Chain A
Amino acid sequence: MKYFYWFIAVAVVVTALAVLFVPGVDDFVEQTLLGYLGRAAR
């Protein structure tokens, strides 16, 4: 489990940095969320 926790920690940091600095990642996140919200709200 120790390695798993490390993996999650690294993944969380990389995800945050990608959303902040890699062009298009924030749009992808938003589009994906929009799809889920639209279905859930119906």
Chain B
Amino acid sequence: MKIVKRLTIVVLCLLLIPATAVATAATKQRFADGPNQVFSGGPLESGELYVGPEPDWSFVSEVPTIELQLLDPPRSRRIWTAEYDGRLYVWSGYMSTAVGRLWKHWPVQAERDGRAVIRIDGIRYERQLVRIRSGDILDGITATITSKYPSQTTRAAVEAGDAWLFEAAPRN
């Protein structure tokens, strides 16, 4: 019994090392201007704030990821994006899995307060995230998504709540 206890202590102590690495990296990123891959970053501060007519979002088909910051809470993350029919969309998968719900908080926060800032190629855009739950438009959006990314986002997944899809609409 004593050896089991000692072995448990050893394993827990060894796990402390990667846990420290993850916690330190996550904390470091919180103070950065923007996110990295997994860890949320601080507010998007650098970059020109776009002012003018609605942009032609077709250029995002060549952009692998964008930086998205909600105003509340003011944290940023890196996400996939797609343009369909002149409109910009972002989404989050894994929303019906336990790990996904633990990992991804921003969709829930965005549904509560959709005011957001996105940064693409160093330019910041003020947007309003509006969740889309159903509708025929999902066929076109998800086809665009799956043609751009190795994603399993389908209309059925969105309508079932497995993936949360938002239009990054102009902010009024």
Residues of A near any B CB (own CB < 8 A): 1, 4-5, 8, 11-12, 15-16, 19-20, 25-27, 29-31, 33-34, 37, 40-42
Contacts and interface: CB of A to CB of B under 8 A. Distances in A.
Interface of B: 6, 9-10, 13-14, 16-17, 20-22, 24-25, 28-29, 36-39, 93-94, 97, 99-100, 103
Given A8-B16, A12-B16, A41-B103, 14 more contacts: A4-B13, A15-B17, A25-B21, A27-B36, A29-B22, A29-B24, A29-B25, A30-B29, A30-B38, A37-B103, A41-B94, A41-B97, A41-B99, A42-B97
Contacts, number: 63
Q: Is the interface of B mostly helix, strand, loop or mixed?
A: helix
A26 B28 contact: yes
Q: Is the interface of A mostly helix, strand, loop or mixed?
A: helix
A37 B17 contact: no
A18 B28 CA distance: 12
A1 B38 contact: no
B118 to A, nearest CB: 21
B99 A40 contact: yes
Given A19-B24, A26-B29, A8 B36 contact: no
